[in-house]
Structure 1
Amino acid sequence: MTESNDTPIQTEEGEERQHRRIKSFVMRAGRMTEGQQRGLDQGTPLFVLPLADAPVDFDQVFGRSAPRSLEIGFGMGHSLLEMAAASPEQDFIGVEVHRPGVGALLNGVLTQGLTNLRVYDCDAIEVLNRCIADNSLDRLMLFFPDPWHKSRHHKRRIVQASFAELVRSKLKVGGILHMATDWEPYAEYMLEVMNVAPGYRNLAEDGKCVPRPAERPITKFERRGERLGHGVWDLKFEKLA
């Protein structure tokens, strides 16, 4: 889910090497279905928001003041669609760069006639920095991010101390950072990062993971994993101040 932006810099020997800046995604190729293309063609003007140079007034965007959640990396959008349809009294913002996934979500929004969901199709870190006002989100969701299994790639993981601090600045007091992963070592790593991040409280009774919250839909991928004996770990941290 995270990737790098390569900028050449000079080494002591005068040779160029690449300086990597963490992004919130990996660009993936994918074939576009007819429905996904319909979603992009018809849904983009209605539901996709541009990167702004100042915090967005989402009360104006949605035409109301309501509890607001943002999901980073919604994939094909099935879970986000289900959450938005199940909670029409809430507003949802999804961020995803995978074009077929954006198209699939938008096609679902159009088909179901949802009005409480908006989309950014660009880097989530840019969205948080540029578009989201401080102390404005009730919840931020990060479900099944790329764990970057190899040790030398851990620096590419989106969950870092700087990410925790950025999210905390955007959450309201009492707001929730909800993360989920199907790779236990990554869950342990996220716990290490979050347990020392200032201004958060782990909502797990044992200080580790919470039972799967009812509001997080079970994906087909997760059901298949359960049949194979794979686990899923949910982490919830509340912003204290």
Structure 2
Amino acid sequence: MRPVRSFVLRQGRLTRGQDDALQNFWPVFGIDRGDSALDVDNLFESKAQVTLEIGFGDGVSLATMAENAPDKNFIGIEVHKPGVGRLLHLIDEKKLTNVRVMDDDAVQIIKNRIPEASLDRVQLFFPDPWHKKRHNKRRIVQDDFVSLIASRLKPGGVFHLATDWEPYAEHMAEVMEASADFSSMADTPYSPKPEERPTTKFETRGIKLGHGVWDLLYQKQD
């Protein structure tokens, strides 16, 4: 049986800048597809805390976080080539050295290439809510996925989720609260938006549509 995927691969048209960035900067900052486990600590010029972001979209938020935290390292995963090209362009423009990029199915990357207890933080911002009931099974936040994330985080590591779709926020909270691996970093399942999380394009669009925004920060138990 084919696995249920949480995304639909839409190969949008690349701009010239995005295409140039893919050609010129992927060999420097990209991590090619493969099956071997990554040596996470040695992907970067210096050893530091490592954050993995799943689905970085157009890359602006991730590039901003990396620019604001040069003492931390970031791995970004995104399946859509225009977003990958955009992030690579921003890495060059901002002269970032603390970002690496992957362009495959995040679940398979985490299962097959990210070693256990190797990450300090995992970010999942504004994933597709799959709001129709018949599509709810395609939501990435499910029990098995949360257990997978827990296995890749170090003790005390943080899983940070955000969504602008209230039913999905409720679903996220239900799954996270049921996990024995995590505890909320707030008195409720929802936390105030951390200052270090930039406002994303999807978040701005949701706010314009009158949506609320929910951040969930959970810490892995020792």
Structure 1: how far apart are the matches of 2:163 and 2:154?
24
| Cross-structure match for 1:128 | 110
1:223 matches 2:204: yes
Measure how far apart 1:25 and its partner are.
2.6
| Cross-structure match for 2:43 | 61
Q: TM-score, normalised by structure 1?
A: 0.88
* Aligned partner of 1:75 among 38, 57, 62: 57
| Cross-structure match for 1:10 | none
Which protein is bigger by CA-based radius of gyration?
1
| Cross-structure match for 2:160 | 178
Structure 2: how far apart are the matches of 1:220 and 1:146?
14
Secondary structure, counterpart of 1:62 in structure 2: coil
Amino acid at match of 2:36: A
2:126, 2:203 within 8 Å by CA — same for their partners in 1?
A: no
| Cross-structure match for 2:216 | 235
1:66, 1:90 within 8 Å by CA — same for their partners in 2?
A: yes
| Cross-structure match for 2:81 | 99
| Cross-structure match for 2:127 | 145
Structure 2: how far apart are the matches of 1:42 and 1:112?
15
Measure how far apart 1:137 and its partner are.
0.6
Structure 1: how far apart are the matches of 2:117 and 2:61?
25
| Cross-structure match for 2:179 | 197
Q: TM-score, normalised by structure 2?
A: 0.95
Amino acid at match of 1:34: R
Structure 2: how far apart are the matches of 1:104 and 1:211?
29
Amino acid at match of 2:203: E
Amino acid at match of 2:4: I
2:45, 2:97 within 8 Å by CA — same for their partners in 1?
A: no
Measure how far apart 1:210 and its partner are.
0.5
Secondary structure, counterpart of 1:238 in structure 2: strand
Measure how far apart 1:168 and its partner are.
0.1
Show CA shifts across 1:208-240 (max 9, x none).
Answer: 210111111012442344344321100011000
1:39 matches 2:26: no
Secondary structure, counterpart of 1:153 in structure 2: helix
Show CA shifts across 1:18-58 (max 9, x none).
Answer: x4412343201311111111111111111110234332112
* Aligned partner of 1:212 among 188, 193, 196: 193
Amino acid at match of 1:238: Q
Which segments of 5 or more consecutive residues in structure 1 lack a partner in the other structure? 1-18
Q: Percent identity?
A: 51
2:116, 2:151 within 8 Å by CA — same for their partners in 1?
A: yes
Structure 2: how far apart are the matches of 1:72 and 1:53?
18
Aligned residue pairs total 222
1:165 matches 2:140: no
Amino acid at match of 1:240: Q
Show CA shifts across 1:184-213 (max 9, x none).
Answer: 0000001111111121101121x2210111
2:40, 2:118 within 8 Å by CA — same for their partners in 1?
A: no
| Cross-structure match for 1:188 | 170
Measure how far apart 1:71 and its partner are.
0.3
Amino acid at match of 1:151: K
